[in-house]
Structure 1
Amino acid sequence: MKKYVVVTGGVISGIGKGILSASIARVMKECGVEVNTLKIDPYLNLDAGTMNPNQHGEVFVTEDGYEADLDLGHYERFLGKNMRRENNMTAGQVFKSIIDKERKGDFLGATVQMVPHVTDEIKSRIRKVPGDLIMIEIGGTVGDIEGEIFLEAVRELWVEEGPENFLFIHVTYVPYLRVTNEFKTKPTQQSVQLLRRIGIQPQMIVVRSELPIEENELGKIALFGGVERQMVYNLPDSENVYDVPRIVYSHGIHRKIASWLNIEIEERFEWNYPKSFAPTRVAIVGKYLGTDDAYKSISESITLCGASKPEVIDSQCFEDMTDAQIKAELRKYDGIIIPGGFGKRGIEGKIAVIKAAREEDIPILGICLGMQLMVIEFARNVCKLENANSTEFDPSTPYPVIDLMEEQKAILKLGGTMRLGAQETPIEEGTTLYEAYNERLVYERHRHRYEVNLERFPDLFRTPEETDESKLRISSRATFVEAIELPEKRFFVGIQYHPEFRSKVGRPNPIFELFLTRVREKRRIQQ
């Protein structure tokens, strides 16, 4: 029988259910269990593709081209396993499937209801997730209206599959009231009671807090939560999220799970995560500043290389600066990353930063839109194509060096219609890109609609034999330009794909490793 660990949340959202689920999954994997994960998102979107990064954080792209919530990025990085569309379920997917079946007459005239039709659809999707142990994280908090049907579905599954095959973990937050110098456990007690009213009794409670909680408070949580004291764990804030799997292992949570579910495990744990971070000053010049998670995978790719967390700075702030002011500002940093994005806002600031970094020979990596802007900047300022641009930002530009991909021109819908997922990415030998990968062919994930207009502007690019510094070098080309560079610079590389989505603990994407090598070299020279 399959075994299930269901992780629910209480009190507030954003307390780390995804990190905990990913950490438990990694520890169980290390102990020899075939683990898989499922993130349930109760929102009505079909996927995360059209969601604003300022509100929801980055959109994570899987190998098979699915646009997911950023929690799937945590699962990939921690578990060391590529996620697929089957690892994410949204309310939108469930309801659309139900309506499509009803329109086809699949329900044979029955009145279509939340129970049993919607719950049956949810249970069917859960059962299809491959693996011996399935970690199910239900997004949001207990009490959210949109999450109730998913809680009912897993309750029904618990009955049908047998209680011996289920373990419910409830993750809550205990606030510290500084005025009275005490932790307040009442919200956690009420959250567990609400879960029990739904028909789910958690077997384990994980208490998140800013500071360590004293024993008597944990005992109170166990008493009022109806669980054994040894099944209540306190996980205070950690400076390094990659330390959480080790903490989970040190608490013996994996043994409690194995015992409850009658799973045989091997007592072992190897975890090659970054324990310290070399001081580096890397800036992500972005436009989504509403949340720290907007560039999550890029930021994590940097830290997985053992470097300091990059700083996200607003590209718009450079639009009113002179060239001299921009260069003075960029001298504070050892390296620059221009990330992906959509829309015209902040674009000219990014282009100005690219120009300054190129002239000052500051290591710079352009990702997706970042690469396209590197081409635009070079066309304008080196090749003297005045007002060169992308048709995304200026449809009437005289020099559309970036244009909509041909197959995209007939597409009207936005959701799930970009070039998505892992694609063949051939690499030219003798390039900076080849130095990073040391391979002629890799598979990298894409998420874009626009491409370099090579057919109209071939003179922007040098041939492999040329050394003309007034032209860019193409270091990867598939059906379109995948990567450009200036090999004579310390590091000036633009890539159309998203390497950040393939970084994992112990295996950061090679392009970030080489970028940071050049960043550190620059830092040492300056010191």
Structure 2
Amino acid sequence: DLHERVNPIEEDRSRARWQAFADSITAPRRHRIKLGITGKYAALRDAYASIDKAIEHCATTLSCEIEVNWIDTSTINDMEDAARELDGLHAVIVPGGFGSRGVEGKILCAEYARKNHLPYLGICLGFQVAVIEYARNVLGLDDANSTELAPDCSGAVISELPEQKQLEGIMGGTMRLGAQDVQVTPGSLAARLYGEQSSIRERFRHRYEVEPEYIDQLCEAGLVFSGRHPEYPIMQMLELPRASHPFFIGAQFHPELTSRPLAPNPMFMGLVAAGIRLSEPGASLKDIPERWRQSSDGDSASNGKPLAGTT
């Protein structure tokens, strides 16, 4: 029968892991943070169900009670609005989305997080708005934008993927979809989060990328592209050096889609751990595994330069 075909030792280990996870769900939490999720669908929590579950996986694993604040970015029009929504949080997630509504609010949230050292995770569009914000306010490109949002803008730091530029069809019909390999810069925050792996595999759903002609300029201004396509100059992860920010990272892919109860996604784990560090300054946090405690220690590799062959 089935039992005879299963290794009983491994079966017992698996059962023990699940039992420990189940016990930790109801156990008193040792830490507490406030985390913001910013988006135009904030009133509909199910729109971010995968992100919600990824956060739950981390909360259980790190014994952290996470109070989630849902923030509607369509109501954020200036830095005063952003400060009102984000002040008092210990971490923020800027998730993906389509269309222009609420995007300027997301850009303001990225700016607030960067300037105020608020742990930041940008996903898909959240990755792109971090690039736009950095281009506008650090690189000095006032009209920086995405061709998805402003097709005729002169500072298009985000544009369609090369394979999509000659295609036509409904939105979503020409997307780069599914699991793809990502080459990771050694010594970067991304590498530390993923256990120093040189290559990872994550799931994508996008049509736009960082415009290659701006990559060098962004890197020279201090932005670090720590993950890229293995063959083409397509930037897939970004971060800020430890010297300028405790935890600021973005991914063009969707890390929430590979998070599991017994194996939370590393980007979410790093964000929650960074939020715990912010909420408990000076604490040793010895109960948190070193991989997550130290995930933002040390300067990112390459001094903001992309990997060889990216430009």
* TM-score, normalised via structure 2 length: 0.77
Is the Cα contact below 8 Å between 1:422 and 1:445 reproduced in 2?
A: yes
Is 1:437 aligned to residue 194 of structure 2?
yes
Is the Cα contact below 8 Å between 2:43 and 2:72 reproduced in 1?
A: no
Is 1:423 aligned to residue 180 of structure 2?
yes
Which of 138, 157, 160 does residue 404 from structure 1 map onto? Answer: 160
Q: Distance in 2 between matches of 1:498 and 1:332?
A: 26
Is the Cα contact below 8 Å between 2:32 and 2:276 reproduced in 1?
A: no
The amino acid of 1:419's aligned partner reads R
Is the Cα contact below 8 Å between 1:423 and 1:445 reproduced in 2?
A: yes
User: What secondary structure is seen at the aligned counterpart in 1 of 2:246?
Assistant: coil
Is the Cα contact below 8 Å between 2:123 and 2:254 reproduced in 1?
A: yes
Is 1:520 aligned to residue 271 of structure 2?
no
Q: Distance in 2 between matches of 1:357 and 1:415?
A: 30
Q: Distance in 2 between matches of 1:411 and 1:459?
A: 30
Match of 1:385 in 2: 141
Is the Cα contact below 8 Å between 2:158 and 2:208 reproduced in 1?
A: yes
The amino acid of 1:280's aligned partner reads I
Is the Cα contact below 8 Å between 1:388 and 1:397 reproduced in 2?
A: yes
Is 1:483 aligned to residue 240 of structure 2?
no
Q: Root-mean-square deviation (CA), in Å?
A: 2.5
User: What secondary structure is seen at the aligned counterpart in 1 of 2:280?
Assistant: helix
Match of 2:287 in 1: none
Q: Distance in 2 between matches of 1:408 and 1:401?
A: 16
Match of 1:337 in 2: 93
Is the Cα contact below 8 Å between 1:461 and 1:474 reproduced in 2?
A: yes
Q: Distance in 2 between matches of 1:337 and 1:33?
A: 43
Which structure's relative contact order is higher, taking Cα pairs within 8 Å and 6+ residues apart? 2
Q: Distance in 2 between matches of 1:526 and 1:303?
A: 25
Q: Distance in 1 between matches of 2:154 and 2:161?
A: 18
The amino acid of 1:311's aligned partner reads N
Q: Distance in 1 between matches of 2:86 and 2:173?
A: 36
Is the Cα contact below 8 Å between 1:302 and 1:310 reproduced in 2?
A: no
Which of 282, 287, 300 does residue 40 from structure 2 map onto? Answer: 287
The amino acid of 1:452's aligned partner reads V
Q: Distance in 1 between matches of 2:185 and 2:82?
A: 33
Match of 1:170 in 2: none
Instruction: Give how far 1:309 is off.
Output: 5.2
Is the Cα contact below 8 Å between 2:164 and 2:207 reproduced in 1?
A: yes
The amino acid of 2:193's aligned partner reads A
Q: Distance in 2 between matches of 1:441 and 1:347?
A: 31
1:526–1:402 CA distance, 2 compared to 1 (3 A)? farther
* Structure-to-structure mapping, 1:245-324, within 5 angstroms: 269-270=15-16, 271=18, 272-273=21-22, 274-275=24-25, 276=27, 277=29, 278-306=31-59, 307=64, 308=66, 310-319=68-77, 321=78, 323-324=79-80
Q: Distance in 2 between matches of 1:329 and 1:32?
A: 56
Q: Distance in 1 between matches of 2:156 and 2:178?
A: 26
Instruction: Give how far 1:300 is off.
Output: 1.0
* Deviation digits for residues 301-328 of structure 1 (CA, Å, limit 9, x no counterpart): 1111124252221011211x4x245224
1:526–1:384 CA distance, 2 compared to 1 (3 A)? farther
* Deviation digits for residues 6-25 of structure 1 (CA, Å, limit 9, x no counterpart): xxxxxxxxxxxxxxxxxxxx
Is the Cα contact below 8 Å between 2:40 and 2:72 reproduced in 1?
A: yes
Same amino acid, percent of matched pairs: 37
The amino acid of 2:194's aligned partner reads Y
The amino acid of 1:292's aligned partner reads R
Q: Distance in 2 between matches of 1:33 and 1:315?
A: 53
Q: Distance in 2 between matches of 1:289 and 1:340?
A: 12
User: What secondary structure is seen at the aligned counterpart in 1 of 2:74?
Assistant: helix
* Structure-to-structure mapping, 1:195-234, within 5 angstroms: none
1:456–1:524 CA distance, 2 compared to 1 (3 A)? closer
Q: Distance in 1 between matches of 2:116 and 2:191?
A: 24
The amino acid of 2:47's aligned partner reads A
The amino acid of 1:358's aligned partner reads R
Q: Distance in 2 between matches of 1:456 and 1:354?
A: 19
* TM-score, normalised via structure 1 length: 0.46
* Deviation digits for residues 76-105 of structure 1 (CA, Å, limit 9, x no counterpart): xxxxxxxxxxxxxxxxxxxxxxxxxxxxxx
1:414–1:305 CA distance, 2 compared to 1 (3 A)? same
* Deviation digits for residues 344-382 of structure 1 (CA, Å, limit 9, x no counterpart): 000000101111111100000100100000000000011
Q: Distance in 1 between matches of 2:259 and 2:4?
A: 23
Q: Distance in 2 between matches of 1:312 and 1:526?
A: 28
Instruction: Give how far 1:291 is off.
Output: 2.4
Q: Distance in 1 between matches of 2:282 and 2:83?
A: 16
The amino acid of 2:52's aligned partner reads S
Q: Distance in 1 between matches of 2:73 and 2:120?
A: 15
Q: Which runs of 5+ in 2 are unaligned?
A: 284-311
Instruction: Give how far 1:437 is off.
Output: 0.4
Q: Distance in 1 between matches of 2:111 and 2:282?
A: 21
User: What secondary structure is seen at the aligned counterpart in 1 of 2:179?
Assistant: strand
Instruction: Give how far 1:269 is off.
Output: 4.1
1:490–1:420 CA distance, 2 compared to 1 (3 A)? same
Q: Distance in 1 between matches of 2:228 and 2:52?
A: 27
Is the Cα contact below 8 Å between 1:425 and 1:443 reproduced in 2?
A: yes
User: What secondary structure is seen at the aligned counterpart in 2 of 1:282?
Assistant: strand
Q: Distance in 2 between matches of 1:451 and 1:355?
A: 20
Is the Cα contact below 8 Å between 1:327 and 1:357 reproduced in 2?
A: no
